[in-house]
Amino acid sequence: MDNERIIVRLAQPSDCTYATKISEETERSAIARGSGISKRSVKSIIEKINAGKAIMAVSNCGNWVGFSYFDVWDNGKFISNSGLIVSPDYRQNGVAAEIKEQVFNLCRQKYPESMVFSITSGLAIMKLNTRLGFEPVTYAEITHDETFWEGCKSCVNYDVLNSKNKCNCLCTAMLFDPSKN
Protein backbone atom coordinates (compact mmCIF):
# COMPACT_ATOMS: atom_id res chain seq x y z
CA MET A 1 0.00 0.00 0.00
CA ASP A 2 2.96 2.34 0.54
CA ASN A 3 3.62 2.73 -3.18
CA GLU A 4 -0.03 2.88 -4.18
CA ARG A 5 -1.57 6.05 -5.51
CA ILE A 6 -5.27 6.61 -4.81
CA ILE A 7 -7.42 7.93 -7.61
CA VAL A 8 -10.81 9.47 -6.75
CA ARG A 9 -13.02 9.99 -9.80
CA LEU A 10 -16.42 9.61 -11.39
CA ALA A 11 -17.32 5.92 -11.35
CA GLN A 12 -17.12 4.12 -14.68
CA PRO A 13 -19.11 1.09 -15.91
CA SER A 14 -16.00 -1.08 -15.43
CA ASP A 15 -16.21 -0.24 -11.69
CA CYS A 16 -19.30 -2.45 -11.41
CA THR A 17 -16.84 -5.25 -10.63
CA TYR A 18 -16.41 -3.64 -7.19
CA ALA A 19 -20.15 -3.58 -6.37
CA THR A 20 -20.13 -6.77 -4.30
CA LYS A 21 -17.14 -5.56 -2.23
CA ILE A 22 -18.86 -2.21 -1.64
CA SER A 23 -22.12 -3.86 -0.57
CA GLU A 24 -20.36 -6.31 1.75
CA GLU A 25 -18.12 -3.67 3.34
CA THR A 26 -21.08 -1.36 3.95
CA GLU A 27 -22.85 -4.11 5.87
CA ARG A 28 -19.69 -5.19 7.74
CA SER A 29 -18.99 -1.61 8.76
CA ALA A 30 -22.52 -1.11 10.08
CA ILE A 31 -22.29 -4.28 12.16
CA ALA A 32 -18.82 -3.44 13.50
CA ARG A 33 -19.87 0.06 14.55
CA GLY A 34 -23.35 -0.96 15.71
CA SER A 35 -24.61 2.05 13.81
CA GLY A 36 -27.53 2.82 11.59
CA ILE A 37 -26.19 2.30 8.10
CA SER A 38 -28.64 1.16 5.46
CA LYS A 39 -27.58 -1.85 3.44
CA ARG A 40 -26.74 -1.19 -0.19
CA SER A 41 -27.62 -3.94 -2.65
CA VAL A 42 -25.19 -4.87 -5.40
CA LYS A 43 -27.92 -4.04 -7.91
CA SER A 44 -28.43 -0.51 -6.50
CA ILE A 45 -24.69 0.17 -6.50
CA ILE A 46 -24.42 -0.92 -10.13
CA GLU A 47 -27.39 1.30 -11.02
CA LYS A 48 -25.70 4.35 -9.43
CA ILE A 49 -22.44 3.64 -11.24
CA ASN A 50 -24.11 3.20 -14.62
CA ALA A 51 -26.26 6.32 -14.15
CA GLY A 52 -23.23 8.56 -13.54
CA LYS A 53 -24.29 9.20 -9.94
CA ALA A 54 -21.29 7.72 -8.15
CA ILE A 55 -17.76 8.59 -7.16
CA MET A 56 -15.23 5.78 -6.93
CA ALA A 57 -11.80 5.63 -5.31
CA VAL A 58 -9.38 3.01 -6.59
CA SER A 59 -5.67 2.47 -6.30
CA ASN A 60 -3.34 2.50 -9.25
CA CYS A 61 -2.88 -1.22 -8.47
CA GLY A 62 -6.56 -1.88 -9.15
CA ASN A 63 -7.78 -2.16 -5.56
CA TRP A 64 -11.17 -0.81 -4.51
CA VAL A 65 -10.64 2.02 -2.02
CA GLY A 66 -13.96 3.86 -1.53
CA PHE A 67 -17.34 4.86 -2.91
CA SER A 68 -20.27 7.25 -2.58
CA TYR A 69 -23.28 8.24 -4.66
CA PHE A 70 -26.15 10.68 -4.91
CA ASP A 71 -29.86 10.43 -5.63
CA VAL A 72 -32.39 12.97 -6.86
CA TRP A 73 -35.68 13.57 -4.98
CA ASP A 74 -38.81 15.65 -5.44
CA ASN A 75 -38.13 16.43 -9.11
CA GLY A 76 -34.70 17.82 -8.33
CA LYS A 77 -35.62 19.95 -5.32
CA PHE A 78 -33.41 17.73 -3.17
CA ILE A 79 -30.27 15.69 -3.78
CA SER A 80 -29.03 13.18 -1.21
CA ASN A 81 -25.39 12.24 -0.72
CA SER A 82 -25.31 8.64 0.46
CA GLY A 83 -23.39 5.43 0.84
CA LEU A 84 -19.96 6.82 1.67
CA ILE A 85 -17.73 3.87 2.48
CA VAL A 86 -13.96 3.39 2.51
CA SER A 87 -12.18 0.04 2.55
CA PRO A 88 -10.65 -0.60 6.00
CA ASP A 89 -7.16 -0.84 4.49
CA TYR A 90 -7.39 2.76 3.28
CA ARG A 91 -9.10 4.50 6.19
CA GLN A 92 -7.46 7.40 8.04
CA ASN A 93 -5.81 8.66 4.84
CA GLY A 94 -8.22 11.44 3.83
CA VAL A 95 -9.96 9.30 1.23
CA ALA A 96 -13.42 9.80 2.71
CA ALA A 97 -13.01 13.58 2.62
CA GLU A 98 -11.94 13.50 -1.03
CA ILE A 99 -14.84 11.22 -2.01
CA LYS A 100 -17.34 13.34 -0.08
CA GLU A 101 -16.07 16.53 -1.69
CA GLN A 102 -16.22 15.04 -5.18
CA VAL A 103 -19.74 13.61 -4.79
CA PHE A 104 -20.89 16.95 -3.40
CA ASN A 105 -19.27 18.85 -6.31
CA LEU A 106 -20.84 16.44 -8.80
CA CYS A 107 -24.28 17.16 -7.30
CA ARG A 108 -23.68 20.90 -7.40
CA GLN A 109 -22.50 20.71 -11.01
CA LYS A 110 -25.48 18.66 -12.21
CA TYR A 111 -28.11 20.27 -9.96
CA PRO A 112 -26.85 23.74 -8.94
CA GLU A 113 -30.21 24.95 -7.62
CA SER A 114 -31.00 21.82 -5.60
CA MET A 115 -30.68 21.50 -1.86
CA VAL A 116 -28.24 18.72 -0.95
CA PHE A 117 -28.83 16.66 2.16
CA SER A 118 -27.14 13.89 4.04
CA ILE A 119 -28.25 11.92 7.06
CA THR A 120 -25.62 10.33 9.25
CA SER A 121 -24.88 9.07 12.72
CA GLY A 122 -21.14 9.49 12.27
CA LEU A 123 -19.19 12.44 13.64
CA ALA A 124 -16.61 12.28 10.83
CA ILE A 125 -19.31 12.72 8.17
CA MET A 126 -20.90 15.54 10.16
CA LYS A 127 -17.54 17.32 10.21
CA LEU A 128 -17.03 16.78 6.46
CA ASN A 129 -20.55 18.05 5.75
CA THR A 130 -19.98 21.13 7.91
CA ARG A 131 -16.79 21.99 6.00
CA LEU A 132 -18.80 21.83 2.76
CA GLY A 133 -21.47 24.23 4.08
CA PHE A 134 -24.12 21.80 5.35
CA GLU A 135 -26.07 22.70 8.46
CA PRO A 136 -27.99 20.41 10.84
CA VAL A 137 -31.74 20.50 10.17
CA THR A 138 -34.89 18.71 11.25
CA TYR A 139 -36.21 15.87 9.13
CA ALA A 140 -39.09 18.16 8.12
CA GLU A 141 -36.59 20.18 6.04
CA ILE A 142 -35.49 17.30 3.78
CA THR A 143 -37.36 15.17 1.27
CA HIS A 144 -40.64 13.53 2.20
CA ASP A 145 -40.39 11.14 -0.75
CA GLU A 146 -41.42 7.75 0.60
CA THR A 147 -38.89 6.02 -1.67
CA PHE A 148 -36.05 7.74 0.18
CA TRP A 149 -37.31 6.44 3.53
CA GLU A 150 -37.70 2.93 2.08
CA GLY A 151 -33.90 2.86 1.96
CA CYS A 152 -33.84 3.10 5.74
CA LYS A 153 -35.71 -0.19 6.19
CA SER A 154 -32.48 -2.18 6.38
CA CYS A 155 -31.08 0.08 9.10
CA VAL A 156 -30.98 -1.26 12.67
CA ASN A 157 -32.74 1.93 13.79
CA TYR A 158 -35.68 1.72 11.39
CA ASP A 159 -38.10 1.00 14.24
CA VAL A 160 -37.01 4.23 15.93
CA LEU A 161 -37.57 6.19 12.70
CA ASN A 162 -41.02 4.65 12.23
CA SER A 163 -42.05 5.18 15.86
CA LYS A 164 -41.25 8.88 15.39
CA ASN A 165 -43.32 9.10 12.17
CA LYS A 166 -40.12 9.84 10.24
CA CYS A 167 -39.78 13.15 12.09
CA ASN A 168 -36.46 12.16 13.67
CA CYS A 169 -34.18 9.24 14.37
CA LEU A 170 -30.71 8.60 15.71
CA CYS A 171 -29.16 10.07 12.56
CA THR A 172 -28.60 13.78 12.09
CA ALA A 173 -30.03 15.38 8.95
CA MET A 174 -27.76 17.96 7.36
CA LEU A 175 -28.66 20.29 4.50
CA PHE A 176 -26.74 22.44 2.04
CA ASP A 177 -29.03 25.19 0.75
CA PRO A 178 -27.50 26.90 -2.31
CA SER A 179 -29.62 29.99 -1.74
CA LYS A 180 -27.72 30.56 1.55
CA ASN A 181 -24.24 29.82 0.22
How does pLDDT run across 84-100, given as a tens digit for each residue? 999 999 999 999 999 99
Better-scored residue on pLDDT, 98 or 35: 98
Query: Per-residue pLDDT for 17 more than 80?
Result: yes
Q: Flag whether 1 is in a domain.
A: no
pLDDT for residue 2: 65
Among the ranges given (43-47, 120-124, 166-170), the one the predictor scored with the smallest mean pLDDT: 166-170
User: What total number of domains does the chain contain?
Assistant: 1
pTM, entire model: 0.90
Q: Flag whether 153 is in a domain.
A: yes
For 50, the domain range is 6-180
Amino acid at 80: S
Per DSSP, 168 falls in state: -
Query: Per-residue pLDDT for 1 more than 80?
Result: no
Q: Flag whether 63 is in a domain.
A: yes
Percent of the chain surpassing pLDDT 90: 65
34: number of Cβ within 10 Å: 9
Q: How far is CA 72 from CA 100, 123, 165, in A?
A: 17, 24, 22
CATH code, domain carrying 151: 3.40.630.30
Q: Flag whether 91 is in a domain.
A: yes
pLDDT band at 181 (very low <50, low <70, confident <90, very high): confident
Q: Flag whether 50 is in a domain.
A: yes
pLDDT for residue 32: 67
What mean pLDDT do residues 45-65 have?
97
pLDDT for residue 53: 97
Q: Do residues 106 and 167 touch, judged by C-beta distance below 8 A?
A: no
Percent of the chain surpassing pLDDT 70: 94
Q: Flag whether 20 is in a domain.
A: yes
